[in-house]
Amino acid sequence: MRRRTTRLVVAVGVVAAAMAVVKLPTSAQDDADRVARGRYLVDAVASCGQCHTPRKNAAEDPERYLMGHPRSAEAPKFSMDLIRQGVLLSIAPSYTAFSGPWGVTFATNLTPHATGLGSWTEEAFIRAMRTGKHLGDPDKRSMLPPMPWRHYRSITDADLRAIWAYLQSIPPLDNAPPPAKNQLGKPFDQ
Ligand code: HEC
């Protein structure tokens, strides 16, 4: 009787262990899950493409997905007169360059090209999203509007890592947007 119980316990243990092994996701599966989660966050929740993907006929252009403000595209001029007349924000037709009381900003390239996030590390990306510092470097300037980093800074580490993994998986596009034109002085200087 005792022996039979022992055998049963051993058998159940073996089956449970086998199930655990089968159920354990492989690391490739983990990576695929992380990228899928990142895609969902970027496209459906945080809508990064709203500003980082240039428009074509008013819609985000899938061919230029997340490549930032096209280097040679039109940018709205900074105009104190317009601001005095109550026009707080003007936006380029591409919807990737923005002029307001802070100056003029250009959405950056989020693709894994050298002109985008290609040379960044995951740590720098997470720091940039949390601290609003250019390049994620504490010694660099603070990011200017309208990049909503104050909203994004409370995203969990796991989700920021998922966003990073997804952004590293999209097609790299060669585009270096112009540097921001800052009217506010420190801490927004280059
Ligand atoms: C409302 C518009 C808007 C949205 C939405 C937006 N961004 Fe931005 N983002 C900008 C602008 C404009 C800049 C440039 C700011 C500057 O030059 O100070 C920027 C800058 C950045 C930078 C800094 C790059 C550098 O060189 O330091 C990163 C990283 C970034 N965005 C990632 C994201 C991600 C990821 C999302 C979605 C989770 C996102 N942005 C959503 C407008 C936006």
Q: Which of 20-29, 46-55, 155-164 has the lowest mean pLDDT?
A: 20-29
Pocket test for ligand 1, best of 50, 69, 108, 159 (most atoms within 8 A of CB): 108
Determine the pLDDT at residue 188: 78
- Give the HSE-up count for residue 105: Cα atoms under 13 Å, Cβ half-sphere: 23
> Measured between alpha carbons, how far is 12 from 10 in angstroms, rounded to an integer?
6
**Residues lining ligand 1, Cβ inside 6 A:** 42, 46-48, 50-52, 98, 105, 107-108, 110, 128, 134-135, 143-144, 146-148, 152, 163, 180
Reading the block at residue 47, the tokens are 């809508």
Residue 171 has pLDDT above 60, yes or no: yes
Q: What are phi and psi of 81, to 5 degrees?
A: -60, -45
> Measured between alpha carbons, how far is 153 from 128 in angstroms, rounded to an integer?
9
Residue 120 has pLDDT above 80, yes or no: yes
pLDDT tens readout for residues 173-184: 999 999 999 988
Q: pTM for this one? A: 0.87
Determine the pLDDT at residue 189: 77
Percent of the chain with pLDDT over 90: 75
Among 121, 120, 100, residue whose Cα is nearest residue 108: 120
Fold classification of 29-73+107-182 (topology level): Cytochrome Bc1 Complex; Chain D, domain 2 (1.10.760)
